Structure formats: C-alpha cells, structure tokens
A and B are shown apart, each in its own frame.
Chain A
Amino acid sequence: SNELIVENSLIKLVFDTTTGGLKTIEMNGVTENIEQSFGIYKGFQGNNGEAKNRSSGAYIFRPDGNIEILSNKVELSVYDGTKVKEVHQHFNEFVSQVVRLYDGINRVEFEWLVGPIPTEDEVGREIVTRFTTNIASNGKFYTDSNGREMLERDRNKRENFDADMTESVSGNYYPVTAQISLQDDKKRITLLNDRAQGGASLRDGELELMLHRRLLSDDAFGVGEALNEVQYGTGLIARGKISLILDAASENPNHAERSTQLELHLPFWKFFSKSNNVASVK
C-alpha cells in the first residue's frame, strides 16, 4: 500500500510510504492534510563590517539563500503496541525522529534527534522542522509570551511600526517558549515545544520551529564565539519533543492546550529505589 496508517482511539495518522513522510492527521473530529519536513538553512558568513555582512550567529539568525528541504525517501519502522504506537523515521545521517501516539493521550508526539551537524564543507547549518497544512491562516499566527498569554503575530508586519522586512525569513521568527498556533474559521493546529526555540509561519497554514544550529562565525553582537562547540570535536546532538494538537478553531483560549503545556513543562518526577518491600501510601 502507498499508505501506512497508525491509529488509536483518539488519533489517526496516515504516512505516505512512497516518501516516508506524514500525510494526514485525524483527531478531535477534524481531519487535515499535514506534511512534516525537515529543512536546512545555511548560515551566512561575513566579516561583520556592516549590516549586510553580518554573520549568522548566537544572536542573529541570518540564512544564506533559501531553505533546503530534506527530500530523500525516509526510512520507516513501526512499533505497534497496545498502549503506545511509534513510527521511527530516519531522514539522513544527522536527522531522525520518532512519531508517537499514547493510548488515551490526545496529542501527537514528535521526538526529534538532530546532530552532529556536518560542517566539513566549512558551512554552518541551522536545522528546522516544518508542518504544512491547508489551513487558511491569512498571515496570522500565535506565539506564547513566556508561557503566559498568546500573542497574535502578523507575517511581514509589526504592531506599532513599519518593519523593514529585507530579511524575510528571520524577520518573521519569534520566540516560542511553550506554544505556536495558527487557525482559520474551521481548524486550528498547535505545536507545543519542550524548550525555548525560534518559530515562524512563513506561509499560510505552515508552522516552523528551529531545532538545532551549528555555525562557524561569530555575529559580533557580544558573545565573541561561533555557535560551534569546538571542544567536543564534533557538533553536539540535540534531542527534544514537539507535541501537535489538531482541533476545531476556537475564539476562546484553549484549555486543553494550556493544561498540556503545563504537563510538558512540569512532567512527573521519577525517583528510583531497589526494594523487596512493596511501598504503601502514608
């Protein structure tokens, strides 16, 4: 078959087996074509002498040219359990992922693994993931304000001044410490992350999160070092989780998203002991 279906009582995921990528998600009574991809921005390298020669670095995200989407066929393997179902995706030698459904949990978990980012060709790289839908978001998307209220963002605009959008990709990036969403009249898609990241909606219906960066030049804004953990010899490997919720559009703040956000940021603490005695509650 050209399709791989992974589902539980709450969510149905359809993967395209010809590409290995995610194709459709069905949850909360809503179905949407959602493609997920990983992309690479090359980091600009300049002499920092003037603005146009500013390098991409710790403070500055400045891609050199367009994004390169990883388009090779993704290798898939599936674990089909009763409580948990996993699709393991291998994109290339430094990008892989587990897409996971837990029984009774109303979200899709994407556990990404990126690195070490190769730089043998002396080019720094910044790795992002993109979720592309048909939701007509009309240039608007929402990012959290340090885990508090959600702020409306307008692509290529600022609320109180005319912005210079020469840097059309990075100019639309915003901090995402907990959540990024977009919606139209009918559907809403939300990504909940596990760490502070940069995020954007560069096209209607599309959400993007920066995952891992390895750069070879300083941007001359103060840190004085390239984002390249040289003492380790090779680049670092980063691993993290993004949770996706697809739901009907809503005018009001979404309680389920908020409560999931809390659970992701304050998960259970686990303490391990060896014992032959069964513990009892006191």
Chain B
Amino acid sequence: SENLENLSQAMGIMQHHDAVTGTEKQAVAQDYDRLLYEAISGAENNARDALRILTNLTSGEFDSCLELNISACAFTQKSANNVVVTVVNPLGHTSTQYVRVPVPKENYIVTDEKARKVPSELVAVPWQVLSLEHRPNDTQHELVFQATVEKISNFYIRILPVPKSQSHLSYNSVYAHNSIGRANDEE
C-alpha cells in the first residue's frame, strides 16, 4: 500500500502545471525526476509480486527497462536469449501493438505463451541514436514483434536462440508466417 500511495502522490504532483509544461526550475525538474523514479521503482515491487502470482514464473525478475525509449535495456544488453517478456495491456479493450526490445545482434526466435512462433525482425538502431553521449552502446538493434493482448491482461513472449542449423538465416528474416491468432482463437 505504501508503494502504491507513493506512486499515487508522485503522479498527483506531476499534474502541477509546472511539471506538465516544463516551467519549473532545473532543480525542481531533477526533484520531479527523483520522485517519479523512486515511486515507479517502488511500485515495480507490487507489479512483480502480482505477476509472480498470476504466472508460474515464481522466480521471475519482472524487470522494467526504464530506458526503452532510448533503445536501451540493461536486462537484454548482453544477451536476450531465454528472456521472457511479459506484456501487460493497461487499456480497457483488446489491443494490438508492436513491441521493440533492445538486443545485441544475434539470431532469435520469438514464441508466445503457447510456444507458437511469432514473426519477428531485427532492426538496426539509427547511428544518430547510437552516437549519443551517455547512452549505453551495447544494444545496437531492436527485436520487433507484434502482440495482441486482451483488456487489462498480460501475455508472454519468449525469446530463444536460433538452433545452429537455422543460424544461416539472415538476421532480418521472418521466422514464421503464422500470425499470433490468439485473439481469434479465444474469442
């Protein structure tokens, strides 16, 4: 409750017009940054506990990568093999969106929660982004795949290494032609 209350309070403070429009002093901006970061990190514990109950990943880390917006993720920067991405839809209706996971340049197979292959592509991050100062430079590619998730629910994507026999495939090949088809099946 304390974690959620902290997040609630931080979000309340961010409704102030200075926070919305950027008319706060620099020190205040940095304090907003601190408040938000601490509140989000605290609430991550709640999300982790909830997701452990909702899934069979009792030891799942359920890490959030807060730098996905700059194509960086400490969790996947060395290797994305055997990574499970739990995708949670906060909307009140089924949604189909593309997910981008920063990864090193390797061959990957993406599967859904029922171990069915999901078409995916490896796309290079633009060099203008890679050349930015202070940005971790390990992840120079993004693995892109589509996910359809029902309202307020979660969905699993697993990223596996490609077996050696398939490793000759070009990195931007699509590994399967079946669409996820999950929404139709369940509907």
Is the pair A271, B56 in contact by a Cβ cutoff of 8 Å? no
CB-CB < 8 A to B91: which residues of A? 262-263, 266
Q: Chain B interface: which of A125-133, A159-167, A225-233? A: A225-233
Is the pair A279, B73 in contact by a Cβ cutoff of 8 Å? no
| Chain A residue with the shortest CB-CB distance to B44 | A271
A side interface size, CB within 8 A? 52
Proximity string of chain B (115-155) to chain A, C-beta cutoff 8 Å, 1 when within and 0 when not: 10001110110101100110000000000111101000000
Enumerate 26 A-B pairs (CB-CB under 8 Å) in ascending A order: A58-B21, A58-B22, A59-B23, A81-B123, A82-B121, A84-B121, A105-B96, A223-B24, A225-B25, A239-B70, A268-B149, A269-B64, A270-B68, A274-B82, A275-B57, A275-B60, A276-B82, A277-B56, A277-B57, A278-B115, A279-B55, A279-B56, A279-B60, A279-B84, A279-B156, A282-B56
B54 to chain A, nearest CB (A): 6
| Chain A residue with the shortest CB-CB distance to B98 | A102
Proximity string of chain B (49-82) to chain A, C-beta cutoff 8 Å, 1 when within and 0 when not: 0010011110111111100111001011000001
> Which of A84, A239, A272 contacts B84, CB < 8 Å?
A272
Is the pair A270, B128 in contact by a Cβ cutoff of 8 Å? no
- B residues contacting A by CB (< 8 A) are 20-26, 47-48, 51, 54-57, 59-65, 68-70, 73, 75-76, 82-91, 93, 95-99, 101, 111, 113, 115, 119-121, 123-124, 126, 128-129, 132-133, 144-147, 149, 156, 158, 172, 174
* Cα(A266)–Cα(B90), bound, Å: 7
**A280 in contact (CB, < 8 A):** yes
CB-CB < 8 A to B87: which residues of A? 268-270
Enumerate A160-217 residues with CB–CB distance to B below 8 Å. Answer: 175, 177, 196
| Chain B residue with the shortest CB-CB distance to A93 | B128
